[in-house]
């Protein structure tokens, strides 16, 4: 069988796909018109003059709009409004002024005098809001799927570690959590509408300016125009195999025609610990343990607050973004250059980075040919040494009477179970990462006819990083006489390189017949090649720290076999996606809408019998409020019913699982020479195929009371079949004990509600309320087949000591996130555990067996909600934002161990002598340690002010103060109830942690 994914055939498919796409020019397909039709407004005046002046205001509240672009159509003349919304421009009677501003519908004003006052209508109010939907845009009122759009003005305020933090709590059903709080080197967990796979990708596909899998490190605050979320299958099917977890489309800002502009955005941020664990202080330790438990040997003579020692008091972070933009009628540009120094609350935990983004657009050939290009780069250096969760575990359990240092200047080391001195590690180790990320893309679009265009898009994304680690000869793990390193140093290096190249070509068609029948369509071809490679090495036996990790050859472990053996490793893999796709939209008189999608996609990851898959979708909308029979439009201004069905896939699994792979074995001697042996390391599966999710979504969009209340309600049901999992394989006939196979099924269902209301809207004062809420339930419907069986899956392994096993179990018919363990029945007179057995009787821990365990709780929130309030008064604005998660349990693992006096001679929580004082037994896992995790956070309070300046050199100036994570309302006794809940082990609060913080940010945005 020929290899259809060889490099030669890659190129052949690349060319054939391009030829095919261009050969389809005669077909009537395209994408929805991106921009609303501009309203033409006649402005009456008495005298025709060369200079036209006026004011641009917000039609909703009459407030002036600064930075609005006014351009004379067909001429080079352009200007912008000042801080008072005023403008002046040279124009003649009969000229047309084009007025545009982000978030508002464009207007065209015909000049008939010296005055031209304009009231711009917001996109939401005019129902002309443009939404990115993948390979194009649509007007909001034409959307037939579950799509959420968040514009820049609605982003969360303050200093953000990730672009996704900007929309946390803004989209119903989108769960965004940072499991390590504000750690500048931690990632963001993202999940949409629950779990959809056992082994594949569960996070949404990120698309940045049309690049599937775009890198978020290249996106900075101030550069994002909108973030759109394709939530259901009928919307995400256009991305086929990667749409199972939904799709997030990030659109960056582009240049605009008009006078040259400069912008400067900056903020400074400081943090403080929000809540500290309740471990015993040195005085409490002496009182309750040394004296109370009669253990005088545990008083080591010092009074140490190790937690405070690890906190970085000088954690001031700052961010800067300088932007230049402008252009003429045919060419526009935008360039931004940024710098950030982000310091964590933990010592030696930070990230310093700089980069930039350049956008260029040019139109020619009588406005028929358009070139759009983007370049972006980011260079960062991260200190990864501090902020380890294990370091802060030590702050709880290390004896608080132990000193940090010995009198001779060395670090004091306690010898109890699981102990080390984190301050020693910070002093004697290096762990850093240098990373360079680059992205470049270009799109060439040719307008063949007014209704027909063809485009070609290419991109290249490269991500490279170098890790370095070094442990000094003074490090405790390298100490002489007591370790295999015998007082010598250790070094490690690793280099990773990931790069992706993409080519896509599309044909777009847009035509209206008889003023009521509008057809738009799209035909496309997509090719994407991805590769990853790394190289790593380690060595020890360094007799001096003078060269650190910069002279690997001097490590004597290469020749001295008493040291741990040096290591070398390298790896590379690659995969290819090829797809043909199409979309057709039909709009009848803005009443009835239909969208149909089909994507046929092939992936090199799957077996020879199932490399290609089809991903169809169909959706429809009915704008009931546009019907003649619909009355009472003064109360219900808009009412649109949506329904959609779509199939998406998941190819987020390792490469080469369908092939027989060779792996290394032992060494074989021959003639005094040792040769590496190889053998089969996996069972091939030529039938390996896509996981497929079929999703039905029914939604209702509405606007009430002159659009003072707008919202969307969605109900969905999704079923993912052919789940991939690694099952036990029979030996023989298989050669290895496991094999990847498509067997299982997962069912998700839920309800989502999004509301926006304007209770007060006056000239000088407005009040806007935004609410999102969702309910979800996830169930494993199938796990076994006639051939491959698995009784259950277990997750959430609990730490030592005690061999407590796994905390969670998942079996057919069960909910994802179920805790499975013993049921607490009390304590006996000696403080020993009592648990319920299966027959209802009680027994001690040693008398329990597996049959006595039961489902005791669930760690996945059933409900999530957010509530935002924004008040504006003249130049002031105040935002108060709350988030919450409800109806779920948390396993307080820290309390399980540290709240037990059996953990002595280590330090313990105050609860060991309070809530758990009766307990006199080893730690046991049961529902005794399950707590209600529901919470509400006052997450963001921002006060801002638009400063009106008299100088014409400054267009606008905005200052703001943001406080984040102000307060948490919860009954949970741990540090923070907001934990990882995007995996199968959600709801487990581990012993190690990164401190949760409250941040204060002062920012300035200024336009020149």
CATH number at residue 132: 2.170.130.10
Residue 904 included in any domain: no
Tell me: do 252 and 135 sit in the same domain: yes
Residue 823 included in any domain: yes
Domain range for 848: 818-858
pLDDT digits (tens, 9 = 90+) for 554-587: 999 999 999 999 999 999 999 999 999 999 999 9
Give the pLDDT mean for 744-748: 94
Tell me: do 53 and 99 sit in the same domain: yes
pLDDT digits (tens, 9 = 90+) for 625-684: 999 899 888 899 999 999 999 999 998 889 999 999 999 988 899 988 999 999 999 999
Choose the weakest-confidence range: 118-122, 520-524, 941-945. 118-122
Residue in 371, 344, 349 with CA at minimum distance from that of residue 360: 371
Tell me: do 142 and 223 sit in the same domain: yes
Residue 826 included in any domain: yes
Q: CA-CA distances (angstroms) from residue 460 to 9, 654, 830? A: 20, 22, 68
Residue 513 included in any domain: no
d(CA 230, CA 247): 5
Question: In sequence order, what are the beta bridge partners of 883?
Answer: 866, 937
Give the pLDDT mean for 830-841: 96
Which conformational region is residue 181 in: left (phi greater than 0), alpha (psi within -120 to 50 degrees), or beta?
A: left
Tell me: do 153 and 206 sit in the same domain: yes
Tell me: do 63 and 122 sit in the same domain: yes
Residue-level pLDDT at 477: 94
pLDDT digits (tens, 9 = 90+) for 46-105: 344 478 899 998 776 677 887 788 888 888 788 888 877 888 998 888 888 889 886 677
Last residue of a domain, one of 238, 256, 274: 256
Residue in 176, 287, 165 with CA at minimum distance from that of residue 220: 165
Tell me: do 61 and 163 sit in the same domain: no
Give the pLDDT mean for 156-184: 89
Residue 179 included in any domain: yes
Tell me: do 73 and 182 sit in the same domain: no
Burial class (CB in 10 A: 0-12, 13-18, 19+), 937: buried
- Torsion angles phi and psi, residue 336, rounded to 5: -130, 145
Domain CATH code at residue 103: 2.60.40.1120
Residue 112 included in any domain: yes
Binning pLDDT at 50, 70 and 90, where does residue 127 land? very low
Average pLDDT value for the chain:
90
Residue-level pLDDT at 61: 64
Tokens encoding 51: 């200079």
Q: Are 525 and 566 in contact (CB under 8 A)?
A: no
pLDDT at 129 over 90: no
| pTM metric for this prediction | 0.86
Question: In sequence order, what are the beta bridge partners of 581?
Answer: 524, 599
Question: What whole-number percentage of the chain has pLDDT above 90?
Answer: 75
Burial class (CB in 10 A: 0-12, 13-18, 19+), 190: buried
pLDDT at 11 over 80: no
Residue 247 included in any domain: yes
Give the pLDDT mean for 229-239: 95
Straight-line distance from the first to the last Cα atom of the chain, in angstroms, rounded to the nearest whole number: 64
Residue-level pLDDT at 732: 86
Tell me: do 118 and 198 sit in the same domain: no
Last residue of a domain, one of 227, 256, 285: 256
Give the pLDDT mean for 206-222: 92
Residue-level pLDDT at 196: 85
Last residue of a domain, one of 92, 126, 160: 126
Tell me: do 56 and 137 sit in the same domain: no
Q: What is the dihedral of CA 409, 411, 412, 417, to 10 degrees?
A: -170
Give the pLDDT mean for 186-202: 90
Tokens encoding 628: 């003649």
Residue-level pLDDT at 128: 60
Domain count, the chain: 3
Q: How far from chain centre, in Å, is Cα 813? A: 30
Tell me: do 81 and 177 sit in the same domain: no
pLDDT at 215 over 50: yes
Q: CA-CA distances (angstroms) from residue 642 to 239, 243, 698, 715, 921? A: 21, 20, 6, 10, 59
Tell me: do 103 and 162 sit in the same domain: no
Residue 103 included in any domain: yes
Residue-level pLDDT at 73: 85
Tell me: do 186 and 206 sit in the same domain: yes
């Amino acid at each position: 069988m020929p290899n259809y994914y060889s490099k030669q055939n890659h190129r052949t498919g690349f060319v054939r796909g391009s030829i095919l796409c261009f050969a389809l020019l005669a077909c009537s397909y395209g994408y929805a018109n991106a921009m609303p039709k501009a309203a033409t407004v006649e402005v009456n005046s008495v005298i025709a003059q060369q200079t036209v002046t006026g004011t641009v205001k917000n039609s909703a509240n009459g407030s002036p709009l600064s930075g609005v672009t006014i351009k004379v159509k067909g001429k080079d003349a352009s200007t912008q409004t000042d801080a008072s919304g005023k403008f002046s421009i040279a124009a003649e009677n009969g000229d047309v002024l084009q007025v545009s501003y982000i978030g508002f519908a464009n207007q065209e004003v015909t000049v008939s005098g010296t005055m031209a006052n304009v009231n711009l209508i917001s996109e939401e109010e005019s129902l002309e809001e443009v939404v990115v939907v993948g390979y194009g845009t649509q007007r909001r009122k034409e959307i037939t799927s579950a799509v959420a759009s968040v514009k820049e003005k609605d982003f969360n305020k303050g200093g953000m570690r990730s672009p996704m933090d900007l929309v946390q709590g803004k989209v119903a059903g989108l769960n965004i959590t940072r499991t390590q709080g504000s750690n500048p080197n931690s990632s963001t967990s993202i999940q949409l509408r629950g779990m959809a796979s056992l082994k594949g990708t569960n996070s949404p596909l990120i698309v940045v300016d049309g690049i599937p899998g775009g890198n978020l490190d290249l996106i900075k605050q101030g550069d994002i125009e909108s973030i759109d979320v394709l939530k259901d299958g009928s919307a995400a099917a256009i991305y086929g195999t990667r749409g199972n977890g939904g799709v997030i489309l990030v659109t960056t800002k582009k240049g605009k025609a008009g006078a040259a502009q400069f912008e400067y955005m900056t903020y400074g941020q400081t943090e403080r610990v929000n809540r500290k664990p309740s471990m015993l202080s040195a005085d409490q330790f002496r009182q309750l343990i040394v004296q109370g438990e009669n253990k005088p040997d545990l008083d080591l003579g010092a009074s140490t607050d190790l937690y405070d020692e690890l906190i970085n008091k000088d954690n001031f972070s700052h961010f800067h973004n300088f932007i230049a933009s402008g252009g003429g009628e045919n060419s526009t540009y935008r360039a931004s250059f940024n710098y950030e120094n982000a310091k964590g609350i933990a010592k030696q935990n930070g990230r310093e980075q700089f980069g930039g983004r350049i956008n260029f657009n040019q139109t020619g050939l009588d406005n028929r040919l358009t070139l759009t290009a983007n370049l972006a780069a980011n260079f960062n250096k991260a200190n990864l040494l501090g902020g380890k969760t294990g370091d802060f575990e030590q702050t709880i359990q290390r004896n608080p009477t132990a000193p940090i240092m010995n009198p001779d200047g060395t670090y004091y080391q306690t010898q109890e179970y699981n102990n080390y001195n984190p301050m020693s590690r910070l002093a004697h180790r290096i762990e850093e990462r240098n990373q360079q990320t680059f992205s470049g893309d270009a799109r060439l679009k040719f307008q063949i006819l007014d209704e027909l265009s063809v485009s070609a898009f290419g991109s290249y994304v490269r991500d490279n990083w170098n890790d370095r680690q070094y442990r000094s000869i003074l490090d405790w793990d390298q100490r002489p006489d007591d370790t295999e390193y015998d007082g010598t140093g250790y070094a490690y290096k690793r280099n990773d390189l990931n790069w992706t190249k993409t080519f896509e070509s599309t044909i777009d068609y847009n035509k209206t017949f008889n003023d009521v029948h509008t057809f738009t369509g799209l035909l496309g071809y997509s090719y994407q090649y991805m590769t990853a490679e790394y190289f790593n090495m380690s060595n020890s036996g360094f007799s001096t720290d003078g060269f650190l990790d910069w002279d690997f050859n001097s490590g004597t472990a290469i020749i001295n076999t008493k040291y741990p053996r040096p290591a070398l490793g390298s790896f590379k893999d690659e995969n290819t996606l090829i797809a043909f796709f199409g979309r057709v939209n039909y709009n009848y008189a803005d009443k009835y809408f239909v969208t149909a999608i089909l994507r046929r996609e092939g992936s090199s990851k799957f077996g020879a019998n199932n490399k290609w898959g089809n991903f169809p979708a169909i959706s429809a909308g009915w704008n009931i409020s546009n019907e003649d029979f619909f009355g009472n439009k003064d109360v219900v201004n808009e009412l649109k019913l949506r329904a959609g069905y779509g199939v998406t896939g998941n190819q987020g699994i390792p490469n080469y699982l369908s092939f027989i792979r060779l792996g290394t074995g032992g060494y074989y001697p021959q003639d005094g020479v040792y040769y590496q042996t190889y053998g089969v390391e996996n069972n091939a599966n030529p039938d390996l195929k896509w996981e497929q999710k079929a999703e039905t979504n029914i939604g209702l969009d509405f606007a009430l009371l002159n659009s003072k209340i707008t919202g969307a309600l969605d109900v969905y049901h999704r079923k993912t079949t052919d789940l991939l999992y690694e099952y036990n394989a029979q030996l023989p006939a298989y050669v290895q004990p496991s094999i990847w196979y498509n067997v299982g099924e997962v069912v998700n269902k839920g309800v989502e509600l999004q509301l926006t209301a304007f209770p007060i809207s006056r000239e000088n004062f407005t009040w806007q309320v935004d609410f999102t809420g969702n309910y979800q339930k996830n169930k494993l419907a199938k796990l076994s087949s006639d051939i491959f069986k698995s009784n259950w899956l277990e997750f959430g392994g609990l730490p030592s000591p005690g061999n407590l096993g796994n905390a969670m179990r998942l079996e057919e018919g069960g909910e994802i996130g179920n805790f499975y363990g013993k049921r607490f029945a009390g304590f006996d007179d000696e403080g020993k555990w009592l648990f319920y057995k299966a027959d209802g009787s009680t027994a001690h821990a040693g008398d329990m067996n597996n049959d006595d365990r039961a489902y005791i709780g669930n760690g996945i929130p059933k409900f999530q909600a957010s509530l935002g309030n924004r008040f504006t008064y003249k130049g002031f604005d105040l935002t108060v934002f709350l988030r919450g998660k409800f109806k779920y349990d948390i396993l307080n693992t820290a309390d399980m161990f540290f709240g037990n006096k059996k953990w002595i001679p280590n330090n313990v929580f105050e609860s060991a002598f309070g809530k758990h004082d009766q307990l006199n037994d080893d730690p046991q896992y049961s529902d005794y340690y399950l707590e209600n995790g529901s919470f509400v956070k006052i997450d963001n309070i921002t006060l801002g002010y638009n400063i009106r300046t008299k100088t014409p050199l400054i267009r606008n100036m905005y200052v703001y103060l943001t406080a984040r994570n102000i307060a948490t309302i919860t009954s949970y006794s741990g540090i923070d109830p907001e934990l990882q809940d995007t995996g199968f082990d959600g709801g487990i609060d581990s012993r190690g942690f990164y401190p949760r913080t409250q941040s204060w940010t002062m920012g300035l945005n200024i336009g020149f």
